[in-house]
Amino acid sequence: MARIPMGKPLVEIDGDEMARVMWHWVKERLIEPYVDLKTEYYDLHIKVRDETNDQITIQAAEAVKRLGVGVKCATITPNAERVKEYNLKKEWRSPNATIREILDGTIFRAPIIVKNIVPAVRFWKKPIVIARHAFGDIYAGTGIRFDEPGEAEIVYRSASGKEIRAKIGSFPGEGVIQAYYNLDRSIISFARSVFTYALTANMDVWFAAKETISKVYDARFKELFAKVFEEEFAEKFKEKNLNYYYYLIDDAYARAIRSEGGFIWATKNYDGDILSDMIAAAFSGSLAMMTSELMSPQGHYLTEAAHGTVQRHYYRYLRGEKTSTNPTAIIFAWAKALKRRAELDGLDTLRRFAELLMEATINTIEEGIVTQDLAKIIEGQNVVVVDTESFIDAIKNNLEKLIAKHINV
Ligand code: NAP
Ligand code: MG
């Protein structure tokens, strides 16, 4: 068949270890034979980051800002062991942190749903996407321990010399205090990223806090979310028949359990820390069935798999063994990036291809052809456990059937 044309390129950010190996298999076997793929390529292999003093990471993030869409492979965040293993100049920062900072983006973690993996909560039929505000709160908190009776207050001294004071309390003896903060600017960017993502994903948004108790802090989050929504998004949501709901956090937890899923849950930093792990475990328990998308307030978009470089499998691969590592999240990262590129550029065939690639992957798993991580969590079906390359070949087979049926070329 003639390959499906692309318009603008997307930013391709390569990474490390087993994730990198699978990255190239996916690209060469599931995408390039069908799409005239155009990418601007950045190699974030740990050695390249080391040689460029991590400038390559900054360039990759700037490219996503310029081209609007990217896809990223998992990368090593070096620690002392990695510095030795790869003979690095230093422990370079996490590339994801650098990229998120440059794009001022929010991470959305979304489970990939297949019929034969039953969520722990039986009502859930559609994904619950968690958006975590990764700024401030207790993660930038300051604590004091005291051991005598006394009293405490908070003082804010502005750059111009104004002071705002509030009494915390008087205490009879030993205890602890913690102070933390957030910035309007960051909350507003967060809200914008969430509503922008919702419009592209066609999902409702929930935001939840505890403003009945936290009458200044959480109330400010609630206020700013409402303001950004009303002023910038209410109309676009209406056109698409989508909704924004604010709930008290305890109410939201109870509602989420009873819901069938299918919404984006925007959370404050600590709630998101906990919820994202809980929701991931409750949907399937495998990080290989979870994508991670970064959306900036301006709509710049970067996808990746939620898992890391799968180091242990990589060492087996290097010894020449076949591994049964699951490439599903990597395939979805590519498909979602291609889909976004296609939507921005008005390329309908490319959009359909991206959707068929996801469908072919789901069909393969639902037929019971799986990697070893899923064999353990699928119940009531005889599965065939295959190595990564055979799994990709099985997907390719299903993809070709779908293309023959749905795409005229
Ligand atoms: P990991 O790569 O996610 O792997 C942890 C374990 O989860 C694996 O050993 C494997 O379990 C299982 N697993 C993860 N992905 C899988 C897949 N696709 N298929 C099958 N099993 C899978 O996390 P890690 O071992 O903690 O971290 C390794 C490296 O990745 C580190 O250098 C870290 O810095 C980096 N990392 C990068 C990112 C990112 O770039 N976004 C995120 C997280 C970690 P079994 O071994 O039991 O089969
Ligand atoms: Mg956590």
Rounded to the nearest whole angstrom, what is the distance from the C-alpha of residue 274 to the centroid of ligand 2?
5
Rounded to the nearest whole angstrom, what is the distance from the C-alpha of residue 309 to the centroid of ligand 1?
5
Nearest bound ligand to the CA of residue 98: 1
Nearest bound ligand to the CA of residue 280: 2
Nearest bound ligand to the CA of residue 275: 2
- Can you tell me which atom of ligand 1 is nearest the CA of 288? 18
Rounded to the nearest whole angstrom, what is the distance from the C-alpha of residue 214 to the centroid of ligand 1?
37
Tens digit of each residue's pLDDT (9 = 90 or more) over 351-383: 999 999 999 999 999 999 999 999 988 988 899
Mutate to test the pocket of ligand 1, among 287, 290, 370 (most ligand atoms within 8 A of CB): 287
- Can you tell me which atom of ligand 1 is nearest the CA of 19? 18
- Say which residue the tokens 């207050």 belong to: 153
- Can you tell me which atom of ligand 1 is nearest the CA of 313? 46
Nearest CA to ligand 1 atom 38: 308
Mutate to test the pocket of ligand 1, among 310, 321, 325, 392 (most ligand atoms within 8 A of CB): 310
Nearest CA to ligand 1 atom 44: 308
Q: Cα(223)–Cα(209) distance, rounded to whole angstroms? A: 11
Nearest bound ligand to the CA of residue 100: 1
Query: What are 84's two structure tokens?
Result: 């030795």
Output the CA–CA distances (angstroms, integers) from residue 312 to 316, 324, 402, in the order listed: 7, 12, 34
Nearest bound ligand to the CA of residue 95: 1
- Can you tell me which atom of ligand 1 is nearest the CA of 75? 40
Residues 6 or more apart whose CB falls under 8 angstroms from that of 167 comprise 151, 152, 153
Q: What is the pLDDT of residue 198?
A: 97
Nearest CA to ligand 1 atom 30: 308
Task: Find the residues whose C-beta lies inside 6 A of ligand 1.
Answer: 74-77, 96, 287-288, 304, 307-312, 325-326, 373
Q: Report residues of the chain scoring pLDDT below 70.
A: 409
Mutate to test the pocket of ligand 1, among 46, 72, 307, 365 (most ligand atoms within 8 A of CB): 307
Q: What is the pLDDT of residue 281?
A: 87
Asked whether the beta carbons of 327 and 360 are under 8 A apart, the reply is no
- Can you tell me which atom of ligand 1 is nearest the CA of 330? 18
- Can you tell me which atom of ligand 1 is nearest the CA of 95? 40
Nearest CA to ligand 1 atom 13: 310
Q: Cα(362)–Cα(208) distance, rounded to whole angstroms? A: 32
- Can you tell me which atom of ligand 1 is nearest the CA of 329? 18
Nearest CA to ligand 1 atom 10: 310
Query: In 97-183, where do the E strands start and end?
Result: 106-111, 128-132, 142-146, 150-157, 163-171, 175-179
Residues 6 or more apart whose CB falls under 8 angstroms from that of 362 comprise 112, 114
pTM, 2 dp: 0.93
Q: What is the pLDDT of residue 32?
A: 98
169: region left, alpha or beta (phi > 0 left; psi from -120 to 50 alpha): left
Rounded to the nearest whole angstrom, what is the distance from the C-alpha of residue 358 to the centroid of ligand 2?
27
Rounded to the nearest whole angstrom, what is the distance from the C-alpha of residue 277 to the centroid of ligand 1?
14
Asked whether the beta carbons of 309 and 324 are under 8 A apart, the reply is no
Q: What is the pLDDT of residue 60?
A: 98
Which residue stretches of 5-94 are H helix? 17-26, 46-51, 55-67, 80-86
Nearest CA to ligand 1 atom 8: 310
Q: What is the DSSP letter of 381?
A: S
Asked whether the beta carbons of 242 and 183 are under 8 A apart, the reply is no
Q: What is the pLDDT of residue 409?
A: 59
Rounded to the nearest whole angstrom, what is the distance from the C-alpha of residue 388 to the centroid of ligand 2?
28
Query: What are 35's two structure tokens?
Result: 């799409």
CA 231, 234, 235, 236 dihedral sign is positive
Nearest CA to ligand 1 atom 36: 308
